[in-house]
Amino acid sequence: MAEEILTAETRLVGKEAARLDAVAKVRGQARYADDLSFPGMLFVKAIRADRPHARIITLDLSWAERHPRVVCVVTPEDIPGENVVPVIYRDMPLLAVGVVRYVGEPLALIGAETPEAAEEAAALAQVTYEDLPAVLDPLEAIREGAPQVAVPEAAEAGNIFTHMVIRKGDAERGFAEADVIVEGEYRTGYQEHAYLEPQGVIAVPEEGGMAIYGTLQCPFYVQNAVAAVLGLPLSKVRVVPTATGGGFGGKEDVPSQLAAMAAVVAAKSGRPAKLVYDRAEDIISTSKRHPGVIRYRTGTKRDGTLVAVEIEFYYNAGAYQTLSSAVLWRALVHAPGPYRIPHVKVDAYSVATNTVPCGAFRGFGSPQVIFAHESQMDELAGRLGMDPLELRRKNALREGDETATGQVLTESVGLPQAIERAAELCGWKGLRREVDEFNRQKKFRRRGVGISTVMYGVGMGAKAPLLDKAGAYLKLEADGSVTVAVGNTEMGQGATTVLAQIAAETLGVKLSDVQLAPVDTSRVPDSGPTVASRTTTVAGAAVLDAARKLRARVEAAARGFFGVDEVEISDSQVWPSGEPGKAVPLSEVAHWMWVHNWDLGATGWAEGAPVDWDPDTGLGKAYFVYAYACHIAEVEVDLLTGEVHVRRFWAVHDSGRIVNPALARGQVAGGIAQGIGYALMEELKSEGGRIVAPSFTAYHIPTSMDVPAEFVIEFVEAPYSGGPYGAKGLGEVPLMAAHAAVANAVSQATGGRLREYPALPERVLELVEGA
C-alpha cells in the first residue's frame, strides 16, 4: 500500500504530494502519533474547567481569538454533529454546556499554528462560574440530599449509575451453617496507567470525510465517536492506529474524546489538527482505575469448606459513565473469587462524583475485589489455624464445579494444577520455615510470604456479547508470502507476532513470510476491541478460520499443479504426499494460482461461545471460558522505615495452550511489576476534586530496583477447545494476581492486616505498631 501511494505521489505536486508522503510514512512503518506532521497542521489545546462542579456563566474567547497565530476556536455551537463522546452511554459531552462536572472537563478548543501559540491562547480564555455543591466521595454521593452529579438519563437512581447483584443460594442460611465468619472493609485508590506514550491523535480532512491517526486500542470505537461529532456516516471516517506506546486500558475509551476534539477543529479549519497531551494534562484529564470501598463477609466450616459470602462494594465512577457499567459487571462476577461457594450475595454499585471519569484499566474492575477476597482467605486461614495455600487448594474451582454465577465449568480449568505447581516451585513449606527462622533472628526486619489465586473471564462476557466477534482477511501473494489483515492493535502485548504465528502454523509457511497489514478501519475487518485479553482467543480464531480456508484452496491448487491426489505443505514448501524430494517453493504454486486466476484471499470469522446472564439474579454463563493463576510473593519489611521490598516471586498461569512462551512470560513479568506498584507505591492524591502534582515525580511507579531479583514464571496448559490451538487469554491476569500476593505477604510480615492500598511506608508502620 505504501508503494502504491508513493507511485501516486509522482503524479502530484505541492501540498497533496506532501500529504500523501506523510500518509505513506504512517502506513509503511511504525510511527508514533507525536512524530507525525502534515502540511498546514494546527495544534489543538483544550480550555478546561478549573473547578469540580459549577454553572458556566460566561465563556469569553475574544482575546484567545485575537492571538496572531490562532486559526480557529471551537465551542459547542461549532460542533457539526452531536456534542457527545459515545461510549456505552451518551451522557458525556465533548465540550461542556451550561455545567461542568469535574476539574479538567473541556469547555472549548483552540487550533493554532504552533503548540506554544495554542497554549498561550488557551490561557487568554476568560470563564466565569457560579460554583455548585460538589461531592467527591461515592459514599457521600449516595446519601439523601447529596448534590446531583449524574446525568439522569445515564443513572438508575440519584448518583447511582449502576447497581448489579448476584443472588445464589441463601446467604443467611449459609452464614447460619458457618463455624467461622470473618468480615472487613477494604479500600483502594486511583491507579494511573503510566503508559510510556501519552495520549495523542491527528485528524486530517480528506474527500468529504476525516482520517484519524493516533495512539489507541480500539479504532472502531474512535470511528464511531468521530462520525457522531461530525455528523458523518461511518464510511466517511477512517482510523489508522499509529505505533502505540502502551495502553493498559487507558487507550480504550479516552482516544475517542481526543479524536473527536481534533476532528471538530480540523472540520472547522479545513486543516489537519494535532492533539497530543503532555504528561500533566494526561494525568489530570484521562481515566484511572476506579477507587473502591469494598465490604466482605465470608463464612466457612471448621474444616475450611467455604459456605457463604456476602459482598457490597462501591466504585467511584467519576462524573460520567464512560465504561463504568462494564467495569462494574466484571467486578461483580469476579468478586467471590475462584472458589466453590454455595451461597453468594453480592451488591455492586458504580457511583457518580465530581471527579475525573474512570474507565478501563488492566483487570477491568477485578483487582479491587481481588484484594478483598484474597485478604479474606488469609484471614480465614488465620482464624482456622490452617495453611493459606491449603485453604485455597481445598476450595479451588475444578471441572464440573459451579461458579458464583451458577455457571458449570465443563473444560479448561487449570487452577488446581497451578496451585500445585506454584507450591512445588517455591517449596512452600520449606519457604515458610525459612521465613519464620529469619524473623526469629532479625530484630528490625521481617519477611512474609503471600499467596493469591484468581480467575479471569476471557473476552467481553455476557454484558457485551455483541462485541465478542472478530473478522480476518488473509491473502496469499503471488510470491508465496502472506498478508494478514485484522482490526486489532499492537500496543506492546505481542499480538502481531502471535496472530502471525497462528497464520503461519495453519498455512504451513515460515513465520518470516507472514506480514500483518497496518490497521486502517477502511481496509481491515472489525475484529472487536483490543481489550479483555481477547485478541489471541477471538481474533486468533478468526485468523485460524481464514487460514484453514486458504490452505484448503492452496492444497486444491497444488494437487492440480502436481497432478496428484494428495499434497503436503510445510515451511513454505509444497510436495506430493510421501515424495518430499519433489518439493517446490510455495511461491511456485502461488504464482501458478495467480496465472490461472485462482482466488488468493480468504476471510475468516469468529465469535465467542454463547453466554447468558440474568440481571435480576446475576446468574448465568458469564464468560465462555476462564483463565486462572496462582502467585506467591516473598517480601521483606524494614520495621524502622516501613519500606517493603519484594524479594522473590513465583507465578503459575493457566491460559490454555501458550502460542508464544517468550511473549507470554514477558506479559506475566510486566503484570507482576504493575501489581507490585498497585500494592506498594502508586498513590494519586487529589484535593477538592483536583489531581495534586500530576507527574511521575509525585506518582511513583516501579523501577527495575523494585521488582524481585528472582522470579519464576511457568504455565500449566489446560487447553480450551474453542481457542486457536487451545489458547485462552493472558494479558490482564498477571496484574490481578500479583498485587494480592504482595499484600498478603506484607500482612504476614507485619502481623497486621493491610486493608487499604497502597502499602506506603507510613501505612506499613501503622500495621507494625498495631500488631
The DSSP secondary structure of 109-160, one letter per residue, reads EEEESSHHHHHHHHHT-EEEEEE-----SHHHHTSTTPPP-S-GGG-SBTTE
Dihedral sign (CA 336, 622, 678, 431): positive
List, for residues 665-723, the tens digit of each pLDDT value.
Answer: 999 999 999 999 999 999 999 999 999 999 999 999 999 999 999 999 999 999 999 99
Question: 435 in helix, strand or coil?
Answer: helix
Q: Cite the DSSP H helix spans in 124-278.
A: 138-141, 171-177, 219-230, 254-269
Residues of the chain with pLDDT under 70: 1-31
Domains and CATH numbers, the chain: 3-30+469-607 (3.30.365.10), 33-133+197-282 (3.90.1170.50), 408-460+624-771 (3.30.365.10)
138-153: burial string, b at 16+ Cβ within 10 Å, e else: beebbeeebbebbbee
109: left (phi over 0), alpha (psi -120 to 50) or beta: beta
Return the number of other C-beta atoms located less than 10 Å from residue 233's C-beta.
Answer: 9
CA torsion, ordered 363, 364, 369, 374, to nearest 10 deg: -10
H or E element that contains 653: strand 644-654
H or E element that contains 506: helix 495-507
Question: What is the bridge-based pairing of β-strands 42-48 and 273-276?
Answer: parallel
Angle at 335 (CA atoms; ends 334, 336), nearest 5 degrees: 95
Distance, in Å, from the CA atom of 165 to the CA atom of 329, rounded to the nearest integer, reads 9
Q: How far is CA 6 from the centre of its chain?
A: 36
Residue whose C-alpha is closest to residue 246's, from 301, 201, 189, 198: 198
What is the rounded radius of gyration, in angstroms, for the C-alpha atoms of the chain?
Answer: 27
Q: Are 364 and 330 in contact (CB under 8 A)?
A: yes
Residue whose C-alpha is closest to residue 243's, from 276, 202, 275, 215: 215
List, for residues 239-274, the tens digit of each pLDDT value.
Answer: 999 989 899 999 999 999 999 999 999 999 999 999
pLDDT of res. 494: 87
* Type of residue found at 110: I
Q: Cite the DSSP H helix spans in 385-443.
A: 388-395, 415-426, 428-441
List, for residues 634-649, the tens digit of each pLDDT value.
Answer: 999 999 999 999 999 9
Q: Are 571 and 510 in contact (CB under 8 A)?
A: yes
DSSP 322: T
H or E element that contains 27: helix 14-28
Q: Are 731 and 629 in contact (CB under 8 A)?
A: no
Beta strands in 353-468 (DSSP E): 445-457
DSSP 511: G
3-state SS, 329-375, equals HHHHHHCCCCECCCEEEEEEEEEECCCCCCCCCCCCCHHHHHHHHHH
Query: Using CB atoms within 10 A of its CB, is residue 728 exposed (0-12), middle (13-18) or buried (19+)?
Result: buried
| Cell numbers standing for residue 711 | 522470579
Distance, in Å, from the CA atom of 587 to the CA atom of 36, rounded to the nearest integer, reads 36
| Cell numbers standing for residue 125 | 480564555
pLDDT of res. 492: 84
- In degrees rounded to 5, what are phi and psi of residue 262? -65, -35
Q: 3-state DSSP: the chain helix, strand, coil percent, rounded to 5?
A: 35, 25, 40
Beta strands in 230-327 (DSSP E): 237-241, 273-276, 292-300, 306-318
pLDDT of res. 31: 63
H or E element that contains 547: helix 540-562
* Type of residue found at 444: F
- In degrees rounded to 5, what are phi and psi of residue 667? -60, -45
pLDDT of res. 32: 75
Q: Are 49 and 90 in contact (CB under 8 A)?
A: no
